[in-house]
Chains A and B, each alone.
Chain A
Amino acid sequence: KQEVTQIPAALSVPEGENLVLNCSFTDSAIYNLQWFRQDPGKGLTSLLLIQSSQREQTSGRLNASLDKSSGRSTLYIAASQPGDSATYLCASDSGNTGKLIFGQGTTLQVKP
């Protein structure tokens, strides 16, 4: 049974810092790994999708990497801004139905 874990649970950084959020999963037989952003009381916004054949994906200041053999993914945020403050969720897709298994999230606070 796939389990997804995110470390740290919370992170507070000053504006401008580069930071890394970690995601680990127990079953390396995944199809995709997807990163989401969730603002308080809101829905999930897809940030990046890494397919199993890919090693990384980039979008603007965000870069996500995937290492299936070690069961890890990282989300790198460059030059963080207060507007990046949110909860970041990773989710793995292990089956052929597209079911996503979520981590508990990392709540990020970027201080001005």
Chain B
Amino acid sequence: EPEVTQTPSHQVTQMGQEVILRCVPISNHLYFYWYRQILGQKVEFLVSFYNNEISEKSEIFDDQFSVERPDGSNFTLKIRSTKLEDSAMYFCASSMNTEAFFGQGTRLTVV
């Protein structure tokens, strides 16, 4: 059964460092998303991506964040200069047009 895969499963980084979270969406899907979940809080929308461009982004998704689909299979989230408050579980999701399928997440710990 097709699934969304994310790597790494856990990443520890020092404050101020750049991190890239990687996702391989389901192959025939057209819409791609990043969400995050701070420990004990709701899952929050970060950004949606369609037709090689951002279609919507939240207030959280500021200039420190960027997304890219470099090769038609991978979908990446980059955080340029990490802050302590960026520590969270980051989920990638994809959909054809309705039902969204999520990956297992990357736990990012900023120290």
Contact = CB atoms under 8 A, between A and B. Distances in A.
A88 B40 CA distance: 14
Size bracket, chain A contacts: 20 to 34
B87 interface: no
Contacts of B95: 98
B75 interface: no
A84 B50 CA distance: 35
A91 B95 CA distance: 14
Interface of B: 31, 33, 35, 41-45, 48, 50, 55-56, 91, 93, 95, 97-105, 107
A86 to B, nearest CB: 14
A19 B1 CA distance: 29
B43 A102 contact: yes
B45 A42 contact: no
Interface in A25-75: 31-32, 34, 36, 41-46, 49, 51
